[in-house]
Amino acid sequence: MEEKLKAIISSIEGCDKEVYNEAVKRLDSLAKPPGSLGRLESFSAQIAAIKGKLKNSLDKRCLIIMCSDNGIVEEGVASAPQNVTYFMSVNFTRGLTGAAVLAKQYHTDLKVVDLGINADLNIKGIINRKIRKSTGNFTKEPAMTRQEALQSIMAGIEMADECFKEGYDIIGLGEMGIGNTTTSAAVLSALCGIDTFLSVGKGAGLTDEAYEKKKSIIEKALKLHQPDSKDPVDVLAKVGGFDIGAMAGAFIGAAKNKMPAVIDGYISMVSALLAIRLCPEVKEYLIPSHASYEKGFQYAAKEAGFEPVLHLNMRLGEGSGCPIMFSVLDGACAIMNHMATFEEANIATEYLDNISKDKSFEVE
């Protein structure tokens, strides 16, 4: 499995630079002040470079929710009981959760994947990719074996492959797993060598006492296992989660299939960072959504090189930011697809010389 992953990673290339330059040139020729549509323009060019053509649509989109339990909840690091993972996973299929409601609102299909829910499931609408029931408690043992870590990554790549074969234009990655802000903080601290003060937040609502305990538990685990920051698979295996591995794999799979993928909140961003550490070219295929309210998100986003788009004080997870971002990207595509150039609109462009020199209209 290790060699298979290496082969996939080595096959991934960056986006089409020629198409990107062509897209930028067209955007600059559209009937508007230069750069006046801001990041909609940059996303339009990025999508063109990913797809290899100027005009694109994102009508068929999918939110993939990776679900798994985490053994670390034994240490009291979560405000909710572990069985919430199971009940929420079921309710995704019923369309009753925050992410499911937003997915429906923004015409997004949903795929719910069981990587390691701590229960026996045979439920319509939940895709079985179970590695085992829950990861281990990483204060006592590694969260998983290296082989299981690789299996989680490969499961994510396979989900992205399936979406590509089914004709999806874009995917978003979310998760469900009680305790996974703890695993994400541990992975972030291990990958970046940072103090838990920067990586650990209060998750879904920990008390101050539980928050301090959460930090100390992660510090203890990092000291115990000594994960190798230069080996992302080792980090994942020792202190990560199956959901994190699967999301990282899906981001890699999106790049493999030249398909854009949207990052959700904290756990999704840490997974994106893990994917980029495994394969730097993956970054060109990823698009951030919202700025998570979770403490470590800002550091993870900066480390991965992303600036979030939506500032809504969200911290739900589940992939809830992805469907909203899909609608923003619809606008980015519409600009390229339907706006007229100055020439097409019969507008003289001499005045642009003065606009480009005069920056007084910009916000200080």
**Full pLDDT tens readout for the chain, 364 residues:** 999 999 999 999 999 999 999 999 999 999 999 899 999 999 999 999 999 999 999 999 999 999 999 999 999 998 899 999 999 999 999 999 999 999 999 999 999 999 999 999 989 999 999 999 999 999 999 999 999 999 999 999 999 999 999 999 999 999 999 999 999 999 999 999 999 988 987 766 778 887 888 999 999 999 999 999 999 999 999 999 999 999 999 999 999 999 999 999 999 999 999 999 999 999 999 999 999 988 899 999 999 999 999 999 998 999 999 999 999 999 999 999 999 999 888 887 776 666 654 444 454 4
Residue 362 lies in a domain: no
Residue 204 lies in a domain: yes
Specify the number of domains making up the chain.
2
User: Is there a single domain that holds both residue 295 and residue 310?
Assistant: yes
User: Is there a single domain that holds both residue 78 and residue 32?
Assistant: no
Whole-angstrom distance, CA of residue 341 vs CA of residue 343: 5
User: Is there a single domain that holds both residue 226 and residue 349?
Assistant: no
For residue 318, indicate whether it is catalytic.
yes
- Considering the candidates 2, 318, 344, 364, report the single residue annotated as catalytic: 318
User: Is there a single domain that holds both residue 45 and residue 122?
Assistant: no
User: Is there a single domain that holds both residue 120 and residue 78?
Assistant: yes
User: Is there a single domain that holds both residue 34 and residue 130?
Assistant: no
Residues 6 or more apart whose CB falls under 8 angstroms from that of 364 comprise none
Q: Which domain holds residue 83?
A: 61-326
Residue 364 lies in a domain: no
User: Is there a single domain that holds both residue 18 and residue 157?
Assistant: no
Residue 92 lies in a domain: yes
**Residue 310 sits in a domain of what CATH number?**
3.40.50.10210
Residue 363 lies in a domain: no
User: Is there a single domain that holds both residue 265 and residue 300?
Assistant: yes
Cβ burial, residue 79 (10 Å; 0-12/13-18/19+): middle
Residue 65 lies in a domain: yes
